[in-house]
Structure formats: structure tokens, C-alpha cells
Chain A
């Protein structure tokens, strides 16, 4: 079977962690929890990190099984299909959100009116091709670009240090603001669920589990640093700057002589967006194929493109609708997928282990 290595899996995790958090989210969060958003971020990251041991346990309990088969065996076909429909929606909207936010960034920065055409032509064939070629091919691609993405991301963070910054003021929000922010942005987290979908395609050798934690922590620390530097640079005006990673580079006068350095952020954001969309599109297609097992992968890609284009046409220029829906009705979906589903899986693992333990005890008694 064509499996991916732990390193490739780790790289996918980092891309998932960056998803939806590097452009608009810092300013949106600031509106609610001010600089304390960093603590909201840390709490959500810690909750995400809890998914990782569940994933590793599930993988070790069912090394070659697909998530669909595990759920089907324990919960039956109908409930499994319902769960997969919810996951399909979850990943579809995640993909749409990533695209919406990047669309606005590029439209503002470069392309003005013609960007929707450009974006569709540029992005969709690439992500479709990635999905059709499979997780092994696109995880290798992401692995190859990982260094460039990381270098670009870190360069943006470092260059921001050349402008005056001061520590953000913490503890200005109350508990209500804190928890509201936590709830509103839950949809942008829980990307580790993707790993559960491809669990049969990951090859984890004994002792390699810790690498998954390392990659996760690297990704999380980078995002936390981005939030910190963004708030340190823009302070109370943070809510006005919608493109955090790119905005970090603005006003770096020291670099004017070699031209504007937006290009670093631009290329980094393009790559991250493409890879995130590839991951979410793949997850969508995987769910789709499990719901409709008789259809082919190409079919699922076409369905994705059609729904994506139609929905995007409806939302065109109104990304606020998209963003507000992620804050109001999508958190319900996110809470189920991010937290309730892993708990169900944890129960399945514990039951399986208990049964195994009971069998062992019975055998030894005999």
C-alpha cells in the first residue's frame, strides 16, 4: 500500500495548523478578546493537541483499518454515514473559508477585479490534480515545499522585528469575552481530524510517534509567535489589519532599498493556501467516496468543484457572510467533529482494549 511517512504526516499537520489562522483570524479575535486572544489560541491549541494521543492510540489499535471501517463496525452503517456527511461539510466549509480569506487578501493586494477568474483557474486544477494523484503524491509535494514555507513564515516574523514593537497589553478582556472568542473560532481548529481520515495511509513505526508532537508544537509555536508579533506591532489597531502575516512586513523601511518584501508573504500565503485546500479537498473527496462508494474519485472532485464554484459565486465579494457563518452555526459542527467524535473514538478504543484485556485474563484463568 502506498503509505506516507511520519515526516510527511508531520508536515501535513503543520499545514493544517496554519489553516485559517495566519491572515484574518488575529484581527477577528482581537475584536473580541483583545490581546488575550493569544490565551484563547493557546487553549484551543491544547484542546487540539489532545486529539493527537487519541489518534495515535486509534492507529495502534487498528493499524491498517480505515476510520470508516472502525466506525461502521462499532456504530453501524447509517450512523457512520451521518458522521461522514458532517465531516464532509466540515472540510468543505474549511476549504471555502481558506479560499475566501485568501481571495480577499489577493484581491486587495494585487488583482482587484479580475481575481476570482484567476483564482479559480489557478487553484482548482492544482488541488484537483493533487486529490486525484493521492495523499502520497501531495504529501511529498508539501514535504518538498515545507522548507520554503517555513523559511517564508519565519522571514515574515523576523522582518517584523525591524519595526517598532512593544509588548501587547494582556488581561483586558473578561471571562465572557474570552469564552465567546473561544466558541466563535472553534471552527478554525481541530484540523487534526484529517489525520483520522487518512489513518490507514500513515506508516508509523515504533518510537516515531513523538515526531508528530514535535511537528505539532512547531506549527503551534509559529502561529502563537505570529499572533504575539502582530499584536505587538499593531496594538489596539490590530482589528483593522486583516492580513496578519502580510501586514507584519508593512512599514519595514529598512528593506525598502531591495523592493517591497510583500512578495515573501505573498508566496508563503499562496503555498500555504494551496496546500490547505489540497488537504481539505482530499478530506472532502474521501468522505464523499465513503458516503457514495460506487462513485469514482474524479466524480468526487467534479462535485467539489461545482458546489465550490456555485457557493463561491453566491458569496462573491461577501466574505463577511462566510466568516460570520463560521462564527455562528459552524461552531456546532466543529464541536461535534473536533471534540465529540474523538471522544466517541476514545470510547471505542477503550472498549476494544478492555475486551482484549478480558480475553487475556480468561485465557490465563483457563
Chain B
């Protein structure tokens, strides 16, 4: 009895896949038995197909049955029996489909092979000491990188399909017994509710996970390094790996996380504390320095030491712009140069630096269009921005806001702006965790890994802020 007219079925499948250029099929016929292999040749490991499927079949001397195929011929491969309606889905997932004329069973064999990158140091998180491996675009590799570091039976990977067209795998990862159940449930619910045609990167998922989509501030953690993700999972967080993206997301996210760097844990804790203080200072300088300078120059010049005041007065004399317009002009100039340098090919980078630094900056000062203190202040704030590169985008917008506040309202404007922003941040929680914890509200237990860092041996308890199920680390 023939269960499948393999020719007819293959024609149907070809039609269903719009006669795709990479659609392929092969037959194996022996003693009236026909075995058809259907696959997409662009995503199949051809060598594996030859060596682990076709060759064992050719050399198999007994009568072929479905049981033989499963238990003897293909025993080394990842195989499963599927239903007829799932054939297309499986083919698109890089599976080899086996149809026979002697059984109604359909076998799916995992032979997926993409052109993949080898895990290397991510350009956004270089380290001086510590692991250099970074995530890649392949979900399976990323899972391996995490599994390698977490040899526990409680490690959970839950895979969901998102995107009506892309059917992208989104993997929710957490440690059972540590991650808060409510958190896991909430994240799973949010991902299940995503309605979109395609997920091309983890940022697509991120926008669905954010509790305040219209906020300027970062609400979801993103990392490219498996050691950091594992550390966060050990704190009780949930990680979200998206296929085709090297960026892994984590929730909940709090502000202090961007001050923490993996280097901090692989070096002396006193030095790490010092570096974190520098980062906080850098963040403050980056955010308010231009606005503060403007406020002092326009409204509070009597506060400045006399020599400094004379220098400013000397250099700003005869400028065609008001101080406010001058700083705004320099700020915009820097921003344009930055955007250009990001998008220009590297061989033109040097030319941009020359044009930016020498022609626009130096000549601008010499021509009396801008003042040296203005250039120094804006340049300082732009350099300070990269003490915490993760915050660069939001701090750039804040810089502009504080330039406007400082230039129009003076110090009162800056202080009010700061209070407003802190109040705004205090009003939102990231999946139940206060955004400015452990400082506001103050959580003494979590201060061990805040601005000042304690030695790792003192991290006996997981951060209370994330409400982990198991509070003690041991």
C-alpha cells in the first residue's frame, strides 16, 4: 500500500513555496521502495546530508522501514516525526523532510546550517581582563554560550515564535527557583502578545517589552556578552535571546546597571569603585556641563573666580552670537560631525576629523565665530558622554534640554530640570523594580554593587531590588 504519492507531494510543496530557487528534492529508490528528501538547499548542511543520511541509506542492506530509518540509519541525527500540516514550517526551519511510499509517517531531520560568525569580542563591550566571547546571530550558539557557563538543571530556555512572516525564535531564559515567577509570567505574556509581521533584531522585541514606550530612558537591558548575561540571570533576571541578533535583552533593568561594567568584577574592587565614581561624574558632566556653563555665563557670572571670568570675557568679546546660540551652534556642530563619522567609510574618517577639528573648530575660533571656552565645554561634555556609552543616546537629548534650561532659566532651571527628571524616573518601575534602586528607594543590601563595589566574596545575597525567589546566593 502506498501512503504518499511522493511526486505529487513534492509538486505541492514546490508550489506552496512559490517554486523557490533553493527548493530541492532527492529520491532514493530500492526494491520498489521510494524515499523522497525535501529541503531548502540554502539552509541545509549538504555534507551532513550526504554523509549522515544518504550514505547510510545506500549501505543499509535490509528492507527499509520507518523504524529502521529512525533507529538505525538516522540514529545519530536529531529527528522527529511530524504531521503533514507542519511540513512547510519544518522545511523553512532548515529541516530535511523524509517522505516514503511505504509509511504514512513523515520524518523531519535537523540539518540546519547558516553561514555563522564565530563568537568574538563584541565591539561595544571590550574588556581589559575577563572573558572576550560575545554572542552571535545564531540562537543555538548563543544558547550554547549560556549553557556552557550555567551547568544547572534549573536553567530554562523557553522558545516562542514571533512574527507572522519571519517566525523568529524568541527564547526566554532564566534560572528556575531564582527568577521571580511573576516576572517570568509577565515577560512570557508580553512576548506572546507581540503582533508584528517580522522580528529582525532584538530591538523589535525590546519595544514591545518596554512599559513606557514613549519614554526617552532605557528600560530594558541589552548585552552582547554571555558572562554578563549569566551574572544577571544569577541575580534573578530574565534574559531574552532573539534569533538573528547578537544582542540579548534582560529584564528588569535599573539605571545603575549601565554604570556597571564587566571589567569591574575582574579587577580590584577599590579601583572599580573609583572608576564607577568617575563614570557618575562623567555622566553628570556630560549631561549638565554645557547648560551649567551657560547659566554661569549669563546669570551667575559673579560666582566665577575673577581670573576665570576675565578669560571668558576676553574670549567671548566680539562674538556675533549670544552665549546661548553659540553653545547651541557648537553642540549641533559636534552632533553633525558625530553622525557623519558613524556613517562614513573608515578611509574617509581621517578627512572628517581634519575638517571637523581643524577647519570648523580652529578656524571658527580664529574667525571669531565661536569662543575657545565654549568649544572646550561642549567637547568635554561630548567626551564625558562615552564614560557610559550605553547612555549616550539619552544623555545627548538631555544635554540639549539642559542647554535650553541653563540658557533661558539659569541655575534655577538646571536644578528644577534635575529634580523633574529624577522625579520622573522615580515614578517608573521596571517590571516591579524601582528604576533608581538601590539609591531611591534606598536598599542598603544592594549598595554592595552600586557606586561603590565590595569584593565578590561579600555578594552573599542576590539584589533585593529584583525580588528573586532564592535570596541567598549559596
Contact = CB atoms under 8 A, between A and B. Distances in A.
Contacts of B413: 118, 121-122
Chain B's interface size range is: 20 to 34
A110 B300 contact: yes
A130 interface: yes
A361 B398 CA distance: 65
A123 B420 contact: no
Interface in B162-212: none
B410 interface: yes
A138 B426 contact: yes
Interface stretch (A27-35, A81-89, A139-147, A337-345): A139-147
Contacts of A5: 441
Interface in A97-113: 106, 110-111
A266 B300 CA distance: 11
A343 to B, nearest CB: 34
B274 interface: no
A134 B424 CA distance: 11
B53 to A, nearest CB: 61
Nearest to B412: A122
A257 interface: yes
B304 interface: yes
Given A141-B440, A266-B411, A129 B423 contact: yes
A120 B439 CA distance: 30
A163 to B, nearest CB: 18
Contacts of B436: 140, 144
Interface stretch (A224-232, A267-275, A309-317): A267-275
Given A118-B410, A143-B441, A126 B427 contact: no
Interface in B407-445: 408-413, 415-416, 419-420, 422-424, 426-427, 434, 436, 439-442
Given A144-B440, A259-B308, A118 B409 contact: yes
Contacts of B411: 110, 263, 266-267, 270
B419 A134 contact: no
B439 A144 contact: yes
Chain A's interface size range is: 35 or more
A121 B423 CA distance: 17
A257 B408 CA distance: 29
A9 B426 CA distance: 16
A123 B416 contact: yes
B90 to A, nearest CB: 49
Nearest to B308: A259
Contact of A106 (B412, B423, B434): B412
A140 B434 contact: yes
A36 B126 CA distance: 65
Interface in B377-400: none
A200 interface: no
A174 to B, nearest CB: 42
A5 B440 CA distance: 11
Interface string B328-341: 00000000000000
A267 B297 CA distance: 17
A340 B412 CA distance: 38
A257 B419 contact: no
A76 interface: no
Give the residue among B411, B419, B427 with the most A Cβ atoms within 10 A.
B419
A274 B419 contact: yes
B302 A141 contact: no
A140 B434 CA distance: 10
Nearest to B435: A140
The list of the 4 closest CB pairs from A to B, nearest first, reads A144-B440, A259-B305, A137-B427, A140-B426
19 contacts: A118-B412, A118-B413, A123-B412, A123-B416, A130-B423, A133-B423, A134-B427, A140-B426, A144-B422, A144-B426, A256-B305, A257-B305, A260-B303, A263-B300, A266-B303, A266-B411, A271-B419, A274-B419, A275-B419
Given A118-B410, A133-B424, A263-B303, 19 more contacts: A7-B442, A111-B299, A122-B409, A126-B423, A129-B423, A133-B426, A137-B427, A140-B436, A140-B441, A143-B442, A144-B426, A144-B436, A144-B440, A258-B305, A260-B303, A262-B303, A266-B411, A270-B415, A270-B416
